Amino acid sequence: MTATLTAAQRIAQFAADIKAEDLPEEVRHAASVHVLDTLGCGLAASGLDEADYVITGAAEGAGTGPASGIGVAHGLPPAEAAFVNGVLCHALDFDDTHPDSVTHVSVAVTPAALAAGEAAGADGSTVLAALVAGNEVSTRVGAAAGGLFHARGLHPSGVCGVFGATAAAARARGLDAGTTAHALGIAGSMASGLLEFLADGADTKRLHPGWAAQAGITAARLAAHGATGPATVFEGKRGFYATYLAGFDVDLDAQLADLGEKWNTPAIAFKPYPACHYTHAPVDALAEILREHPLRPDEVKSIVAFTDETGVGLVLEPAADKVRPRTPYDAKFSLPYCLASLLVRGSVEVASFTAEAIADEAVLALTQRVSYEQHEYAPRPDAFGGGVRVETVDGRTFENELRYQRGGAENPMTEDEVREKYRSNAKLALGSEAVQAVEDAVMALGEQSDLSFLAAVRS
């Protein structure tokens, strides 16, 4: 039967049918941990007044509604809450990423699922199913193309995330398969996100998941009220892949072959550092060297960083911009800056990316000593491998390379580490009791009768 269905119809059937109680325990648990991590990132951004324009903008003209926006005292309409939360949860670039699709998954899916769930009065089990549906859709739509979106100047977290957000929103509000397919077709005309922020460190990247989450809510709402979308939104000759990736062969069918049988949710990678994922393996590689061979900045003659082709374009070129980041967000996409911060300060953390921190001349003096070599990390070129070679002024050489970045399935962070990351982030905005209450509720999401615990994230 599936041979007669379009990709959108197959995805829609999966999203409409998924139930939390039918999911493997590993998948349910992973989904909850990712929600916790995502909310922590958003709370930290709110507490640090990152992207505060999204909160003040919501206060200006969003109106009121049943959904919770981080840092917004009153309830918001679901689409606006999804936008606020998507932007905030991605603002620090501390949120999770799926390696094969190079997509920040949870920052679009989680805001859409939670806002749609609040608006529909859904229970935690329904929302948990919606979250997994969205995760699986975003990762597959992105993995069908790998790093090709980046090559075209498109941000997968936006252009692919809109489909996961739509699937999540549709499931949270209980749409049937036919209506969900229309919602996905509508979402194809809302897919957006350009990488041009790399030109000057502008704020647009953090907006992309917010737009995707908001669009997912809107697409599901429009479909629920009778709007139609093209059934061939993915494979059509004027569809998503044909227009966004014209000239490339994309095989979404291969990604959908095991939809509902194999699960990508546990493979979504957590971030130990609030910077682009392509900085992580080289930073960790340098950290391992420094633990064994403590080096002062004045002892280092040069550092050669290793990354793949996509990493070069994101965190190493153009070199002039990377050695002297123009904005704090720019610094998150500078591997020279991240390596220099670690060597000079001993850390790469939230405080490393402030206006004052990126102007630190001790760090900037070292960024100019960083060059790079492009490596291939087959068989999975998008697993964010990387490393460094350090040459000292007295002629010693130290080299270290990580095939898989820390936080991914092959080199995981422990659950305790992820929970501690959440607590450290959340306490920047919430008191200790609220931090713990949200953690307890999220980790038992499937057992919640409603989503009233989200009131704690409002200020």
For the segment 354-401, what is each residue's pLDDT rounded down to a tens digit? Answer: 999 999 999 999 999 999 999 987 655 557 899 999 999 999 999 999
The pLDDT, as a whole number, for residue 379 is 58
What value does the mean pLDDT take over residues 201-208? 94
Q: Whose CA is closest to 48, among 342, 345, 353, 341?
A: 353
What value does the mean pLDDT take over residues 290-306? 97
CA 73 to chain centre: 25
The pLDDT, as a whole number, for residue 2 is 46
Q: Are 286 and 337 in contact (CB under 8 A)?
A: no
The pLDDT, as a whole number, for residue 378 is 60
The highest-level CATH class for domain 2-272+414-457 is mainly alpha
What value does the mean pLDDT take over residues 281-297? 97
Q: How confident is the model at residue 405 (pLDDT cuts 50, 70, 90)?
A: confident
Q: Are 87 and 51 in contact (CB under 8 A)?
A: yes
CATH fold for the domain made of 277-402: 60s Ribosomal Protein L30; Chain: A; (3.30.1330)
Question: pTM score, two decimals?
Answer: 0.93
What value does the mean pLDDT take over residues 199-214? 95
Q: What percent of the chain has pLDDT over 90?
A: 91
Q: How confident is the model at residue 3 (pLDDT cuts 50, 70, 90)?
A: low
Q: How confident is the model at residue 1 (pLDDT cuts 50, 70, 90)?
A: very low
For residues 294 and 366, give the distance between their C-alpha atoms in angstroms, rounded to a whole number. 16
Q: Whose CA is closest to 407, among 21, 19, 37?
A: 37
The pLDDT, as a whole number, for residue 93 is 95
pLDDT tens-digit series, residues 321-344: 999 999 998 999 999 999 999 999
What value does the mean pLDDT take over residues 134-143? 98
Q: How confident is the model at residue 219 (pLDDT cuts 50, 70, 90)?
A: very high
* Residue 409: how many other CB atoms lie within 10 Å: 13
pLDDT tens-digit series, residues 55-79: 998 888 778 999 999 999 999 999 9
Please report, for the chain, the start and end positions of each structural domain, with discontinuous segments joined by +.
2-272+414-457, 277-402
Q: What percent of the chain has pLDDT over 70?
A: 98
Q: Are 164 and 137 in contact (CB under 8 A)?
A: yes
The pLDDT, as a whole number, for residue 147 is 83
Q: Whose CA is closest to 445, among 13, 47, 39?
A: 39
Q: Is 289's pLDDT higher than 90?
A: yes
